[in-house]
Amino acid sequence: MKQTLTWRSKLSFGMGGFGKDLIYAIVSTYLMKYLTDVRLVDPMFVAVLFVAARIWDAFNDPFMGMVVDNTRSRWGKFRPWILIGTLLNAIVLVLLYLDVDLPAGQYAVYVGIMYVLWGMTYTIMDIPYWSMVPALTDDENERSQVSAIPRFFASMAWLVVGSGGLYIVKYLGGEDQVLGFSRFAIAVALIFVVTIVLTVTQTRERVVATSGTGEKTTPKRMIEVLVKNDQVLVVLGIALFFNMAYQLSNSFALYYFEYVCGVKEALYATYTGVAGIAQMAALAAFPGISKKIRKGIVFAVSSLLPVAGFAALLVAGYVAPTNILLVGICSAIVNIGIGFMLVLVTVILAEAVDYGEFKLGTRNESIVFSTQTFVVKFAGAFSGFIAAASLNPIGFVPNEVQSAGTIMGMRVIMIALPAVLSVLCLVVYKRGYRLNDEFYHHVLAVLRGQEARTANEEEKGV
């Protein structure tokens, strides 16, 4: 039987996406620049820190997925962890940007510990949050909506942090950037807690497993779910390439517009501001488009639009590097595709959950969605590592005019690599994703048949 969601539930769930991406955006967008240019931490240390933290997440994230899958409480298995993770992550964010007066070596140790803890506590919240998507509804149209709405709010969060972040830091701290970032982090943490409280109090999980009810997920079973569900592996590959492209361009944009184009605040604010608006427009349009156009076509367009946008940005960088209008147009092209892809990744991962139940007999939302959390954080670390580790080899000198070779290297990092990664998303999808409309409808029909039989048996007392 199809589940029906109220708009109050959909919007409340979506507001959580605003808070959690607000907190992710302040770390993903500014932490590397804050550490290297404000706190003067060695870029190579930052690069190693980002990767080391993600290596730990390779073990931590699936384990958290197993913990959530095994949770049974009067509030469900997702909402308790969403709230716990939010409170812990908000505290750690404040400590990460805290204005601490320590010698360079001690500060590096301090920020390293805080960054690892930030990643771990974000996992506690993020995995159950996205795991609720397939548990909120089994209706395809509603699932498209419930996937698009939090992404819409998330894009709004990135718009606020990206286009207004530097101005907010200056307003809150004046010339003292450390103080400005510290106060900005406190404000973001408070908003995060408020929005997640709204999510956990106004949403309920409605779709439960039709088989394997009550079974505990063991580490062996966790590995089996991830290995034997071939569609999870395909979606994992797609999400990996997409997030690498998306986050690499985002994390390096500050450097690109400051040192390649020569205008930091205005161009960066324009690029990120238009990005947020374009993504929100794409997210708002996605449910209607998905009803009329086949998923495969939408996916192809979503993969290729960023390639076209990055190519246009490359040309604009030579022809008119400080032209705000051209930068805005390029950003719009890139981010309409990104907006569609943000929803598509969530939708196809939710479909992989259904396919896993169809194939393996158990419904493991949190284990499956733990792969998304890991991929997003790994991609952030990868982008940070590439950006930070490449600064010294290409001859980067902070706060100075860069050489021609350095500028070329920055163009490769900001434009060429994300474009190639976007193409790889489409290659993986075309070669590996099997849950097309016809086959996926068959999967749903089988699962709903099992649900109906289980309900009849319970009614008859079998």
Residue 204's identity, in one-letter code, is: R
Average pLDDT over residues 392-421: 86
Per-residue pLDDT band for 9 (boundaries 50, 70, 90) equals confident
pLDDT at res. 455: 46
Residue 356 vs residue 92, higher pLDDT: 92
Residue 8's identity, in one-letter code, is: R
Which of 427, 401, 389, 400 shows the shortest CA–CA distance to 43?
389
Rounded Cα–Cα distance for residues 222 and 67 (Å): 10
- Give domain limits for the chain: 7-205+215-450
pLDDT at res. 419: 95
Rounded Cα–Cα distance for residues 296 and 298 (Å): 6
Per-residue pLDDT band for 378 (boundaries 50, 70, 90) equals confident
Residue 136 vs residue 381, higher pLDDT: 136
DSSP state of 316: H
pLDDT at res. 19: 93
Average pLDDT over residues 175-186: 91
For the chain, give the percent of residues with pLDDT over 70.
91
**Three-class DSSP labels, 113-132:** HHHHHHHHHHHHHHHHHHHC
Which of 192, 13, 197 shows the shortest CA–CA distance to 89?
192
* pLDDT higher than 70, residue 93: yes
Residue 48's identity, in one-letter code, is: V
Rounded Cα–Cα distance for residues 415 and 409 (Å): 10
Per-residue pLDDT band for 136 (boundaries 50, 70, 90) equals confident
The structure's pTM equals: 0.70
Rounded Cα–Cα distance for residues 312 and 209 (Å): 47
pLDDT at res. 458: 47
DSSP state of 3: -
Per-residue pLDDT band for 90 (boundaries 50, 70, 90) equals very high
Cα angle at 108 between 32 and 101, to 5 degrees? 100
Question: In Å, how far are 78, 291, 425, 439, 461 from 451, measured between CA atoms?
Answer: 21, 26, 34, 19, 15
pLDDT at res. 429: 94
pLDDT at res. 316: 92
Q: Distance between terminal CA atoms of the chain?
A: 20
Average pLDDT over residues 102-124: 91
pLDDT at res. 417: 92
Average pLDDT over residues 375-401: 76
Rounded Cα–Cα distance for residues 394 and 390 (Å): 6
Whether residue 309 contacts residue 333, with contact meaning beta carbons closer than 8 Å, is answered with: yes
pLDDT at res. 182: 92
Residue with tokens 């980002």: 50
Radius of gyration of the chain (CA): 22
Rounded Cα–Cα distance for residues 13 and 327 (Å): 33
Whether residue 80 contacts residue 366, with contact meaning beta carbons closer than 8 Å, is answered with: no
Residue with tokens 């979503």: 302
Kind and range of the H or E run holding 208: none
- Helix then strand then coil, in percent of the chain rounded to 5, is 80, 0, 20
Residue 424 vs residue 212, higher pLDDT: 424
CATH number of 7-205+215-450: 3.90.580.10, 3.40.250.10, 3.40.50.2300, 1.20.1250.20? 1.20.1250.20
Give me the DSSP letters along 398-461: TTSPPPHHHHHHHHIIIIIHHHHHHHHHHHHHHHH----HHHHHHHHHHHHHHHHHHHHHHHHT
Question: In Å, how far are 176, 188, 228, 265 from 363, measured between CA atoms?
Answer: 51, 34, 13, 47
Whether residue 451 contacts residue 210, with contact meaning beta carbons closer than 8 Å, is answered with: yes
Per-residue pLDDT band for 437 (boundaries 50, 70, 90) equals confident
Rounded Cα–Cα distance for residues 425 and 412 (Å): 19
DSSP state of 214: T
Whether residue 37 contacts residue 166, with contact meaning beta carbons closer than 8 Å, is answered with: no
Per-residue pLDDT band for 45 (boundaries 50, 70, 90) equals confident
pLDDT at res. 42: 84
Rounded Cα–Cα distance for residues 119 and 91 (Å): 12
pLDDT at res. 1: 45
Work out the mean pLDDT of the chain and round it to a whole number. Answer: 83
Rounded Cα–Cα distance for residues 278 and 155 (Å): 9
Per-residue pLDDT band for 211 (boundaries 50, 70, 90) equals very low
* pLDDT higher than 90, residue 304: yes
Question: In Å, how far are 9, 167, 320 from 173, measured between CA atoms?
Answer: 38, 10, 33
Residue 442 vs residue 422, higher pLDDT: 422
For the chain, give the percent of residues with pLDDT over 90.
29
> 143-157, 235-249, 294-308, 336-350: lowest mean pLDDT where?
143-157
> 193-197, 227-231, 233-237, 371-375: lowest mean pLDDT where?
371-375
Residue 428's identity, in one-letter code, is: V
Residue 383's identity, in one-letter code, is: S
